[in-house]
Amino acid sequence: MARAIKYFFLIVSFIIGQKYSLAQQSKIDSLLQVIKTDKADTNKLIHLTGLSYAYEFIGDFQNGLMTCKKALNFAEILIQTSSDKNKEKVKQTAKKYKAAIYASIGRIYTDKSDFPEALKNEFASLKIQEEIGDKMGAALSYGSIGTIYYFQENYPVATKHYLSSLKTLELIGYKNGMAACYGNLGFAYYMQKKYPEAIKYQTLGLNIFNEIGDMQGVANSYSLLGMIYHDQGNYPEVYKNFLASLKIYEDLGDKPNVINALANIAGVYIKQKEYNRAIKYLSKAEKLAKEIGAKSTLQNIYEGYSEADSATGDFKAAYNHFKLYKLYKDSIDNEETRKQTVQSQMTFEFEKKTAISKAEYKGELERQNLIAEEKSKKQKTITWSVIIGLIVVIGFASLILRSLRITRKQKQIIEIKNKETVLQKDIIEEKHKEITDSINYAERIQRSFLASKTFLDENLKNYFVFFQPKDVVSGDFYWASKLNDGKIILATADSTGHGVPGAIMSILNISSLEKAIEEGYTETADILNHTRSNIIERLKRDGSIEGGKDGMDCSLITFDFITQEMTYSAANNPIWVIRQSFSDACKNELIEFKADKMPVGKHDKDSEPFTQHSFQLQKNDIVYTLTDGLPDQFGGAKGKKFMHKQLKEILIEICNLPMNDQKDIIKSNFLNWKADTEQVDDVLLIGVRI
């Protein structure tokens, strides 16, 4: 629960700052009456937009989405059919509110934890804002997009969008938006444990919120300050700030944030082992969260219930609540959701470039039309200036006609080029889809060759696998099987290359390992020797003079869990064993087993057999096997490699933790180190506790 507390707080949404005051839309009944009598003009669109805000503000998402849909349809009608003398002004107003409606839909889907839909609508809003040059609207859209990435725990990308928003807001001096953005930045830095930056931006935001009398912002600031105090263990200040924020949220009728405040207070009580008080607040939060369908918050509430029930000895309730927590967690955070998020980002970037091309084309047409109009004026002047002479008039007329023909030809060329651009876009999209489908299918095939979770759970039991390919498919792989003598064999390997070539090579390597096992080999050195022979023989057929030199680096281990003996052979990949000291973590010992300096494949030493070693394990020893992807990753403040030394220090420090927690810490260290740097290779690290 101490961990979960950081996810309860609903980060400041950029509802503030729209042109239509939310406070004026609080009386929904009045608005509904006004809309019934509105003419089909921009006033009706403004009132529909305000009504959608009101529904959104009170948490009535169903009516909010229905109203947004009506408003979008009406905005499009105004854009397409406006014919009065203020046609362009009406279009601009309709586009501005169309962007605001997309933003409202995005916020609703964010509150419902449907992040792909939220991101799609926020990008649609941003596209229109940039098209019409609305700096304020674009700044708010960047902030909302940052909030969606925040909820997906991608805090560096969220911070990037918040800073883009803040830059524009400070330029135009919009204090409401600046305050909200400062609050968002404070929270994003807090989630990255960058407390000085969090305090800096949160203080700036709180000062402005107090200055402008924005109680919603003041409440949000109190919430984050409470979290910072929580991390520092100052519980009197934690309660003080959380209770202050709860009081304001209740006064405002802000149900989502009332839920989060209740859950935050419950989290602190659990930390203080005051479980009955915690359950009281969790119960209130659960009831409200179910009313508005806040899945993300319900996930954390059930995690809190599970921890409190377990601590009070009600293990049945703890188990049932944990199942609910996992159910909500899996429904929100799945791989398909993340893929859709990435697709929305790519679609936005492509449409943005297309919009720029269309704008350039439109500008060229306008320029050519101005030239044609100017020349037409000259023609009229020449026609009426008979005193200059008929010859001069005819000469100028001929020149003008020739210029008009050139202009029409240029316009035709531009139109043809635009059609070609659209055709090329369609071709690129189709090819992209074909390639993506093929790679995804290849990933499914490769996954079927890897060691299954079921097999590893049954035989290794207490372990983790941190596997992060550079691309969809991978040259790194992990494979396991049971030998004829009952031992468990585990391979951790790095095939030549990565991406599609690496994946194909990994399938050949796995097939060669399986063939060696099928032929009855049980010793690790014999298995690697036989695998190397199969790979070399197979790659002789690649058509080159010398035969292919591809293969793999591999560590191969057999475990006898009865005698607790480990037998291993290694080709370029090291094996580490950490022997723990439970009395003093500083005395944890890392034992490194060096590998043979040759690959499993064609090499100058391919006639030399691999060496085999045995090692007597002890209970609670942890065996780590890895490829070179993580140590070779560039990043950090100076853009250097992660290195084996740093990885060893981390493993020694965290080896006493549960295996899943170790995996989370390793993954977090890797992502923080990499940050915005490109991943250079596939990453694979396996840990097995004896």
pLDDT in tens, 125-148: 999 999 998 998 899 899 889 999
Q: Which of 413, 446, 479 is the last residue of a domain?
A: 446
- Which residue from 184, 186, 232 is spatially nearest to 10, judged by alpha carbons? 184
What residues make up the domain containing 403? 347-446
**Based on the domain organization, do 469 and 487 belong to the same domain?**
yes
Inside any domain, residue 330? no
- Which residue from 313, 305, 311, 297 is spatially nearest to 281, judged by alpha carbons? 305
Average pLDDT over residues 157-183: 90
Q: Are 148 and 373 in contact, with CB atoms under 8 Å apart?
A: no
**Based on the domain organization, do 654 and 548 belong to the same domain?**
yes
Average pLDDT over residues 489-517: 92
* pLDDT for residue 441: 73
Q: Are 630 and 685 in contact, with CB atoms under 8 Å apart?
A: yes
Q: What pLDDT digit, counting tens, does each position of 158-168 carry?
A: 999 999 999 98
**Based on the domain organization, do 619 and 597 belong to the same domain?**
yes
Report for 205-209, 583-587, 597-601: range of highest mean pLDDT: 597-601
**What single-letter amino acid sits at 2?**
A
Q: What stretches of 467-521 show up as alpha helix (H) in DSSP?
A: 499-518
Beta pairing partners, 489: 481, 558
Helix (H) or strand (E) holding 166: helix 155-172
Give the 3-state secondary structure percentages of the chain, helix then strand then coil, rounded to 5: 65, 10, 25
Inside any domain, residue 263? no
N-term to C-term CA, the chain: 29
Inside any domain, residue 315? no
Please tell me which residue, 217 or 589, carries the higher pLDDT value. 589
Q: Which of 105, 133, 161 is the last residue of a domain?
A: 133
Burial class of residue 454 (count of CB atoms within 10 Å of its CB; 0-12, 13-18, 19+): exposed
**Based on the domain organization, do 466 and 613 belong to the same domain?**
yes
**Per the structure block, which two tokens stand in for 651?**
């493993």
442-456, 531-545, 612-626, 640-654: least confident range: 531-545
Q: What pLDDT digit, counting tens, does each position of 91-126 carry?
A: 888 899 999 999 999 999 988 889 999 999 999 999
* pLDDT for residue 2: 37
1-15, 106-120, 204-218, 251-265: least confident range: 1-15
Q: Are 603 and 641 in contact, with CB atoms under 8 Å apart?
A: no
Residue 31 and residue 26: Cα distance in Å, rounded? 9
Residue 312 and residue 184: Cα distance in Å, rounded? 36
Residue 131 and residue 354: Cα distance in Å, rounded? 11
**Based on the domain organization, do 573 and 488 belong to the same domain?**
yes
Q: What is the DSSP string of 347-367?
A: HHHHHHHHHHHHHHHHHHHHH
Residue 284 and residue 303: Cα distance in Å, rounded? 15
Three-state DSSP class for 481?
strand
Please tell me which residue, 622 or 347, carries the higher pLDDT value. 622
**Based on the domain organization, do 455 and 559 belong to the same domain?**
yes
Contacts of residue 271, defined as CB under 8 A and 6 or more positions apart, other chains included, come to 1, 2, 5, 230, 235
* pLDDT for residue 689: 96
**Based on the domain organization, do 683 and 596 belong to the same domain?**
yes
Inside any domain, residue 621? yes
**Per the structure block, which two tokens stand in for 690?**
């004896």
Q: What pLDDT digit, counting tens, does each position of 646-687 carry?
A: 999 999 999 999 999 999 999 999 999 999 999 999 999 999
Average pLDDT over residues 235-246: 87
**Based on the domain organization, do 547 and 655 belong to the same domain?**
yes
Inside any domain, residue 229? no
Q: What stretches of 11-60 show up as alpha helix (H) in DSSP?
A: 28-37, 42-58
**What's the Cα-to-Cα distance from 470 to each of 207, 264, 491, rounded to whole Å?**
44, 37, 20
- Classify strands 488-495 and 476-482 as parallel, antiparallel or unpaired: antiparallel
**Per the structure block, which two tokens stand in for 270?**
């659990």
Tokens 């991406």 correspond to 499
In this predicted structure, the answer to whether residue 5 has a pLDDT above a threshold of 90 is: no
Three-state DSSP class for 492?
strand
C-alpha of 659 from chain center = 25
Q: Is the dihedral of CA 107, 109, 114, 116 positive or negative?
A: negative
Count of CB atoms situated within 10 Å of the CB of 15? 17
Beta pairing partners, 480: 490
The CATH code of the domain that includes 652 is 3.60.40.10
Residue 314 and residue 231: Cα distance in Å, rounded? 28
**What's the Cα-to-Cα distance from 402 to each of 243, 364, 371, 388, 602, rounded to whole Å?**
79, 19, 13, 21, 72
How many structural domains compose the chain?
3
**Based on the domain organization, do 415 and 463 belong to the same domain?**
no
**What single-letter amino acid sits at 147?**
T
Count of CB atoms situated within 10 Å of the CB of 524? 25
Radius of gyration, alpha carbons of the chain: 32
In this predicted structure, the answer to whether residue 7 has a pLDDT above a threshold of 50 is: no
**What's the Cα-to-Cα distance from 197 to each of 201, 295, 379, 638, rounded to whole Å?**
6, 30, 67, 20
The CATH code of the domain that includes 74 is 1.25.40
* pLDDT for residue 232: 75
Inside any domain, residue 81? yes
**Based on the domain organization, do 518 and 486 belong to the same domain?**
yes
* pLDDT for residue 193: 87
Q: Which of 425, 446, 467 is the last residue of a domain?
A: 446
Three-state DSSP class for 556?
strand
**Per the structure block, which two tokens stand in for 524?**
């690790």
In this predicted structure, the answer to whether residue 345 has a pLDDT above a threshold of 90 is: no
**Based on the domain organization, do 610 and 657 belong to the same domain?**
yes
Q: Is the dihedral of CA 590, 596, 598, 604 positive or negative?
A: positive
Inside any domain, residue 340? no
Q: What is the DSSP string of 216-256?
A: HHHHHHHHHHHHHHHHHT-HHHHHHHHHHHHHHHHHHT-HH
- Classify strands 575-579 and 589-593 as parallel, antiparallel or unpaired: antiparallel
Q: What pLDDT digit, counting tens, does each position of 432-486 carry?
A: 777 777 677 778 888 888 999 999 999 998 999 999 999 889 999 999 999 988 8
Please tell me which residue, 342 or 550, carries the higher pLDDT value. 550
Residue 551 and residue 546: Cα distance in Å, rounded? 14
Average predicted confidence (pLDDT) for the chain? 83
**Based on the domain organization, do 580 and 658 belong to the same domain?**
yes
Contacts of residue 356, defined as CB under 8 A and 6 or more positions apart, other chains included, come to none
Q: What pLDDT digit, counting tens, does each position of 569-596 carry?
A: 999 999 999 998 766 656 789 999 999 9
Inside any domain, residue 147? no
Band of the pLDDT at 497, cuts 50, 70, 90? confident
Beta pairing partners, 477: 493
* pLDDT for residue 529: 96
Band of the pLDDT at 155, cuts 50, 70, 90? very high
Q: What pLDDT digit, counting tens, does each position of 392-416 carry?
A: 556 665 676 776 777 677 777 887 8
